[in-house]
């Protein structure tokens, strides 16, 4: 028996035969020994070439193969049990009666054994199990995503419902609130009763204004949600803009004992920004800083210019914000519990103030973030705005806007219009011109405004508030026009100083600013300013408003000669002057029948010098002090004469 393996090397039969083939009943072949040949013969040596053989391999074939050759070759591809059978015939054609056979078992290849198929089955089962798990996980994940999507949609729907509710309520509140504020402001303006009730009226007004701001904030947020809020950017000096916002909080900081600072190394940094929207951002950030910083704490506004951007930070020493909430603080309707006290939540209220701030900064293509101070005391809100205008679309830039101190816009107004501002003002003789103190640190703009006014007024110039205050004391102008942001002393500080000084408390003040915020207007008006003009201004409107302030004062002075019953608030511009005016009227009326009542006595009772008395009475009326006294005596005599109870001699004696 010869076996030919797959490597074409013939192997000795002893490898599979333990004894000679005639004495072997069965053999076992490996999977690569299925190609073999078997030789056989019969014991007939007479004419052996005529011997015949029949053989077959049961399991592979059923028919006998007839041959005279004594070798049979097979190639078995399938493993299993086979039986090789053979029989022979001699030259007389006599076949032997017994069949010689050999049982052959061909073992399967290792990858076709039962244990291989067991492994295959296990692998298939494992793969199916893994696949089922994947499908199950995928189904679970899909279900979770669907639930998450439903939750997001539910949250959106809740927020939408909440926003629609707020918006509808806002619309409903605006009309009655306007009807409350209008009469209330008129009552406050006209009220001259007890200070206790007056303070309560102010509290009501502040609360109503706060409610109005919340309503407006909700309305703006609705615009953000519907992508209706558009950027209207223009180039301007952001340092001056931020300084004015800072100044609007200084009085509050002083009252609360805060260390409130503004730090910037530059006097001018030009940035494209939307004034109205950006003002709301920093008002919100600074308000929050004061709200969550204990009295006596420190709050700092810090402005830095970098190569491609500018950063504005608002730092405080307040409660701070935990790191896990710093990414969520700008989400709408999100509040951060402070010291585990929900009633003192950070961002408490509508929960959209910082969300609106973030939206506004993103409109500017900027960034806003919050961190805690290095000592973990307080928080730092940092706003980054890009320099230049390459990041803005053409529709986001106001082409015809020029920043407030650029006088070319005013020159263009004069060149491109046919208006004649002088025609609206009567020419005044040189000696009778009103005296105006003009306070502006920008020399070019100051000279330009002087040129607008000097034909009809005598102009005194001052480059800052400190110099202006000294000139107001010595010159006693009829009107002060002052910029707000100036070195040495700001415009609001100058206004307060003038109203607190006896010699200048009657002088009306007009403040100029690049901001038009109602908040800041109220800040200026509360300090005694008579009017507030936003830069850039319309030239004709500016000149007419200056003239109107002076004409109003003159009208009140002339009315005094015809009516001594004018209310103090009709002729006065400060509470200090009001008290002095009331005291002067009382002194005169109490001494109408006093023969010793003269100017020295009047000065002594009023507590002012003769010069100051003359200045104040001329500010209140067109009279000299003697004419002022005589005016009241004549009015009193007329009243007594109308009563008919006294004759002329008695009345003359009564009123001296």
Model pLDDT for residues 192-230, shown as the tens digit of each residue: 555 567 667 777 877 787 777 777 766 666 666 666 567
Residues 124-182 pLDDT 10s: 999 999 999 999 999 999 899 999 889 888 887 887 777 677 667 766 777 677 778 77
Kindly state the helix (H) or strand (E) to which residue 490 belongs, with its residue range. none
pLDDT for res 9: 47
* CATH architecture of the domain covering 115-226: Orthogonal Bundle (1.10)
Region 525-551 average pLDDT:
75
Query: Helix, strand, or coil here: 14?
Result: helix
Q: Biggest alpha carbon distance in the chain?
A: 197
Residues 170-189 pLDDT 10s: 667 776 777 787 788 778 76
- Of 307, 343, 337, 313, the residue nearest 324 (C-alpha): 337
Query: Which long-range CB contacts under 8 A does 37-40 form with residues at least 24 apart?
Result: 37/1, 37/2, 37/4, 37/71, 37/72, 37/73, 37/74, 38/1, 38/71, 38/72, 38/74, 38/84, 38/86, 38/102, 39/1, 39/2, 39/70, 39/71, 40/70, 40/71, 40/72, 40/86, 40/88, 40/100
pLDDT for res 356: 80
Query: Helix, strand, or coil here: 628?
Result: helix
Residues 12-50 pLDDT 10s: 444 567 777 777 888 888 888 888 888 888 887 777 777
pLDDT for res 625: 75
pLDDT for res 487: 78
pTM over 0.75: no
Query: Is residue 589 pLDDT above 60, yes or no?
Result: yes
Region 488-509 average pLDDT:
83
pLDDT for res 366: 93
Query: Helix, strand, or coil here: 509?
Result: strand
Q: How confident is the model at residue 54 (pLDDT cuts 50, 70, 90)?
A: very high
Which pairing describes strands 434-439 and 10-11: parallel, antiparallel, or unpaired? Answer: unpaired
Residue 48 burial (CB count, 10 A)? 13
DSSP 64: P
Residues 597-653 pLDDT 10s: 778 877 887 777 777 777 777 666 667 777 777 777 677 666 666 666 665 655 555
Q: Which of 78-87, 189-198, 355-364, 635-644 has the highest mean pLDDT?
A: 78-87
* CATH H-level, domain 435-547: superfamily: Response regulator (3.40.50.2300)
Averaged confidence pLDDT in the chain: 77
pLDDT for res 123: 94
Specify the CATH number for 234-337+350-386; select among 3.40.50.1980, 3.40.50.720, 3.30.565.10, 3.40.50.150. Answer: 3.30.565.10
Give residue limits of the domains in the chain: 2-111, 115-226, 234-337+350-386, 435-547, 575-654
* Distances from the Cα of 535 to the Cα of 404, 465, 621, angstroms: 5, 18, 33
pLDDT for res 105: 92
* R_g of the chain computed on alpha carbons: 53
Region 532-544 average pLDDT:
78
- Taking each helix axis from N to C end, the angle separating 575-590 and 599-606, rounded to the nearest 10 degrees, works out to 130
* CATH H-level, domain 2-111: superfamily: Immunoglobulins (2.60.40.10)
Contact 567, 192 (CB under 8 A): yes
Region 560-569 average pLDDT:
50
Contact 517, 274 (CB under 8 A): no
* CATH H-level, domain 575-654: superfamily: Homeodomain-like (1.10.10.60)
* Distances from the Cα of 465 to the Cα of 54, 124, 486, 497, 521, angstroms: 135, 91, 7, 10, 19
């Amino acid at each position: 028996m010869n076996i030919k393996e797959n490597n074409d090397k013939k192997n000795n039969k002893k490898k599979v035969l333990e004894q000679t083939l005639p004495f072997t009943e069965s053999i076992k072949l490996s999977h690569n020994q299925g190609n073999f040949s078997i030789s056989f013969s019969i014991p007939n040596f007479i004419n052996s070439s005529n011997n015949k053989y029949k053989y077959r391999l049961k399991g592979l074939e059923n028919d006998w193969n007839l041959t005279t050759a004594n070798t049979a070759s097979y190639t078995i591809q399938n493993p299993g049990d086979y039986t090789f059978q053979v029989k022979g015939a001699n030259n007389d054609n006599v076949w032997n009666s017994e069949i010689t056979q050999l049982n052959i078992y061909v073992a399967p290849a290792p990858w076709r054994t039962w244990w291989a198929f067991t492994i295959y089955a296990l692998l298939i089962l494992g793969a199916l199990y893994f696949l089922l798990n994947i499908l199950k996980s995928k189904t679970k994940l899909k279900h979770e995503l669907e639930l998450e999507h439903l939750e997001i949609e539910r949250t959106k729907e809740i927020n939408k419902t909440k926003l629609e509710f707020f918006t509808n309520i806002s619309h409903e509140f605006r009309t009655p609130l306007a009807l409350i504020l209008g009469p209330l402001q008129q009552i406050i303006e006209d009220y001259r009763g007890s200070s206790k009730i007056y303070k309560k009226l102010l509290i009501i007004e502040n609360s109503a204004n706060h409610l109005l701001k919340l309503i407006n904030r909700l309305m703006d947020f609705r615009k953000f949600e519907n992508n209706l809020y558009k950027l209207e950017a223009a180039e301007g000096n952001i340092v001056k803009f931020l300084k004015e916002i800072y100044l609007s909080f200084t009085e509050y900081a002083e009252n609360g004992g805060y260390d409130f600072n503004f730090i910037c190394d530059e006097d001018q940094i030009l940035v494209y920004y939307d004034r109205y929207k950006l003002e709301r951002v920093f008002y919100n950030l600074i308000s929050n800083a004061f709200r969550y910083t204990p009295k006596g704490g420190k709050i700092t506004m810090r402005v830095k210019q970098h190569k491609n951007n500018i950063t504005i930070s608002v730092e405080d020493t307040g409660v701070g914000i935990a790191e896990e909430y710093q990414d969520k603080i700008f989400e709408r309707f999100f509040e951060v519990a402070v010291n585990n006290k929900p009633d003192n939540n950070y961002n408490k209220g509508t929960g959209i103030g910082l969300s609106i701030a973030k939206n506004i900064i993103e409109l500017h293509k900027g960034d806003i973030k919050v961190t805690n101070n290095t000592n973990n005391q307080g928080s730092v809100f940092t706003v980054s705005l890009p320099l230049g205008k390459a990041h803005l679309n053409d529709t986001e830039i106001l082409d015809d806007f020029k920043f407030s101190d650029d006088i070319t816009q005013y020159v263009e107004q004069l060149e491109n219009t046919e208006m004649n501002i002088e025609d609206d003002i009567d020419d005044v003789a040189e000696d009778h011109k009103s005296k105006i103190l003009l306070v502006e640190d920008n020399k070019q703009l100051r000279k330009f405004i002087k040129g607008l006014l000097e034909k009809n007024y005598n102009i005194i110039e001052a480059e800052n508030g400190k110099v202006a205050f000294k000139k107001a004391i010595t010159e006693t102008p009829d009107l002060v026009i002052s910029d707000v942001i100036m070195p040495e002393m700001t415009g609001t500080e100058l206004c307060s100083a003038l109203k607190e000084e006896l010699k200048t408390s009657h002088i009306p003040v007009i403040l100029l600013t690049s901001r038009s915020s109602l908040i800041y207007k109220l800040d200026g008006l509360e300090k005694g300013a008579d009017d507030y003009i936003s830069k850039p201004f319309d030239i004709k409107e500016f000149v007419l408003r200056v003239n109107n302030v002076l004409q109003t004062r003159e009208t009140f002075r002339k009315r005094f000669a015809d009516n001594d019953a004018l209310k103090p608030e009709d002729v006065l511009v400060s509470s200090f002057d009001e008290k002095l005016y009331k005291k002067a009227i009382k002194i005169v009326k109490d001494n109408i029948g006093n023969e010793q009542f003269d100017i020295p006595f009047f000065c002594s009772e009023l507590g002012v010098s003769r010069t100051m008395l003359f200045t104040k009475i001329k500010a209140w009326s067109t009279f000299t002090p003697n004419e002022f006294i005589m005016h009241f005596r004549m009015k009193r005599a007329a009243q007594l004469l109308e009563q008919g109870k006294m004759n002329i001699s008695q009345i003359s004696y009564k009123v001296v």
